[in-house]
Amino acid sequence: MSTLKGPAIFLAQFAGTEAPFDSLHNITRWAGKLGYKGVQIPTWEASLIDLERAASSKDYCDELRAVCAANGVEITELSTHLQGQLVAVHPAYDELFDGFAPETVRGNPTARQQWAVNQLLLAAKASQNLGLKAHVTFSGALLWHTIYPWPQRPSGLVETGFAELAARWLPILDAFDRAGVDLCYEIHPGEDLHDGVTFERFLEATGHHPRCHILYDPSHFVLQQLDYLQFIDIYHERIRMFHVKDAEFNPNGRSGVYGGYQGWKERPGRFRSLGDGQIDFGAIFSKLAQYGFDGWAVLEWECCLKHPEDGAREGVDFINQHMIRTTDKAFDDFAGSGTDDAANRRILGLN
């Protein structure tokens, strides 16, 4: 069985305008000094990567890899979370999501969607040029405003929504297939792909596309009160990426899963830094090892209390302590008596 790789860190929550977070060289040097071995790069951060150039130039991609290698890390995957969100946007969210797109397409949902699709096509080529095997994105949402069935959803609405979502993503999935890269959807509230059932609906609508896969992040399942360990048992064959992120759920007499429109500090469900929440990562790493997951363990820092740099520093040791180097031998091999078909038949009383 293979061994999970790590620790790695998703750079989206750290990239900024001040050193050491203002360039790929500076931020990877910071990550490498902390002890990280890999970085997941958000493609919307122009200070870290020029996506169009990466899609067209292997030489440029070699330069990016060299910068990372000089600082002791490698690129684990690219991310298009923000662009993927814009592949499917219900009109109710147009103004809110316009901020994810360049000014030239804001206020124009058709142009914004075309821009987003092109970003995903570029990401497929860039991932190929970088020699990567997986990519992470969001699915977007056409149905999220109907998540609670009141008023009653009309017959066929869900099927129509997933058919349209699949139609928008199939050309992108095909592009990733040509590039030899798995497209992993982060299963996330706010997306039409937010739990196992919705992923299955989408997978069926895409004809069980061979590049349609999952980024597993247990924190989003805690906030939904979904069994995050059984999820691995059910979907391990489709899990290609892993965000190591903690969370807690503390319901009370005033608020539960929906959170009462409160801020993150006041909500019953909160994201926390690694080790500060309720997730059983020992069990998660064990299950991933059991099923031979050989991807990266990527820290995603999101916490309403702890400083991000403290969370990043503590995350290295946390992930290292949970890594499992899988064995190629059975613990009781010392007591083995070899293979003898005749003896086996005698033991079974078959002679």
pLDDT tens digits for range 4-60? 999 999 999 999 999 999 999 999 999 999 999 999 999 999 999 999 999 999 999
pLDDT tens digits for range 49-84? 999 999 999 999 999 999 999 999 999 999 999 999
Is the pTM higher than 0.75? The answer reads yes
List, as one string, the DSSP characters of 176-187.
HHHHT-EEEEE-
Is pLDDT of 1 > 60?
A: no
Per-residue pLDDT at 62? 98
Q: How many CB atoms lie within 10 A of CB 108?
A: 14
Per-residue pLDDT at 216? 98
Q: What's the domain range around 294?
A: 5-347
Give me the residue label for tokens 């809110």. Answer: 96
pLDDT tens digits for range 297-339? 999 999 999 999 999 999 999 999 999 988 888 777 777 777 7
pLDDT, the chain, mean: 96
Per-residue pLDDT at 335? 72
Phi-psi region at 350: left, alpha or beta (left = phi > 0; alpha = psi -120 to 50): alpha
- From residue 228, give the alpha-carbon distance in Å to each of 200, 234, 250: 16, 10, 17
Per-residue pLDDT at 337? 73
Per-residue pLDDT at 332? 74
Q: How far apart are CA 57 and CA 68, in angstroms?
A: 17
Using CB atoms within 10 Å of the CB of residue 248, give its burial: 0 to 12 exposed, 13 to 18 middle, 19+ buried: middle
H helices within the chain, ranges in order?
Answer: 24-34, 51-56, 58-70, 81-85, 94-97, 109-129, 157-179, 196-205, 218-224, 228-235, 281-290, 308-322, 341-347
- In eight-state DSSP terms, residue 141 is B
- From residue 107, give the alpha-carbon distance in Å to each of 85, 201, 255: 16, 31, 35
- CATH of residue 25's domain is 3.20.20.150
Per-residue pLDDT at 2? 63
Q: Compute the radius of gyration of the chain from its Cα atoms.
A: 22
Nearest to 288 by CA among 324, 246, 332: 324
Q: How many domains does the chain have?
A: 1
pLDDT tens digits for range 115-133? 999 999 999 999 999 999 9
Computed from CA positions of residues 69, 73, 78, 79, in that sequence, does the dihedral angle turn out positive or negative?
negative
Task: Show Cβ contacts of residue 119 under 8 Å, excluding neighbours closer than 6 positions.
Answer: 43, 51, 80, 83
